[in-house]
Amino acid sequence: MKRYLFLLTILVLFPIKGIGQMAGNTSRTWANILSVDVNLAFGPNATATWDPSIGFRLQVHDHFRVGIGDVSYGSADLLSGTRHAIMGGPVVEYLAPVSSELSYSITAGVPLQNRWGASIPHTFGAAPYGSAALDYHFSQIFSLAGMLRVQYLATEAYLRSPRVLPSSSVIIAFGLGFHFYL
């Protein structure tokens, strides 16, 4: 059920790509991007989980950027101690302008996670996601983005501060992005 929800959301979001192509000219001065993102999702009992991260993406085509995203550190207090995690992984972004101030983008990424601590052996995790963002460009070098991310936990567990989530969870998170164009 969760897999279907994940796939359905991706399918719903991806048609935006086609419409974006009609928006036409992307020859703006912004190109490579340094992103500082944070997203929030509530778990059981309204427990807030969040994931701040940074990333860097190189523009390789009018409509595409590739790079490293979701570089982050997190921790969770378990009953045997504090579990730590570092994350990061490849990201591909499709972008399209809407107007002189607005643009939107579709991003797919696979953050990989290494967890350690709390007297539990090192463990790796992966949680692929698709996200859509709407950027408002305050200047040539800065934009503020609203983002919706759908993420699937593909491994046994995945740390998302302040908890560790079980396998097959689906995270639907809303976030903000601070994007700096280099």
Partner 1 sequence: MNKKLLLSFSCLSILLAGCIVDVVEQNTERMAYGNGKNLSSVFFDASIVREAFSVQGGSTDSLIANGTFSLWAPGSGTASSIAQNVNLYWSIDTLHQANDTLQGKLFAYASGPGQELLSIDKMAVTVPRKIHLSVVAGSTDVSVHGMTGDTYFEGGSSNIDFTTAGRITMQTSSGKITGSTDLGGSAISTSGAINVTLTSKSFEGIFVKDSTGNVNLHIPEGVGVSFFLVAYGGYVNLSYDKVSQSGSGVQVNVNGGGKVVRVETGTGNITVSN
Backbone angles phi, psi at 23, to 5 degrees: -65, -20
Site for partner 1 in 97-156 (CB under 8 A): 98, 102, 104, 115, 118-120, 123, 132, 134, 146, 148, 156
Q: How many residues does the chain have?
A: 182
How open is the CA angle 96-3-163, to the nearest 5 degrees?
A: 90
Indicate whether 161 belongs to the interface with partner 1 (CB under 8 A): no
Interatomic CA distance for residues 9 and 13, integer angstroms = 6
**φ/ψ bin of 165: left (φ > 0), alpha (ψ from -120 to 50), beta (otherwise):** beta
Q: Report the site for partner 1 in 27-46 (rule: CB under 8 A).
A: 40-45
Site string for partner 1, 64-103 (x = CB under 8 A): ------------xxxxxxxx--------------x---x-
Q: Does 18 bind partner 1 (CB under 8 A)?
A: no
Single-letter code of the amino acid located at 179:
H
Question: Which spans of this chain sit near partner 1 (rule: CB under 8 A)?
Answer: 1-2, 5, 12, 16, 19, 23, 40-45, 47, 49, 76-83, 98, 102, 104, 115, 118-120, 123, 132, 134, 146, 148, 156-157, 159, 162-174
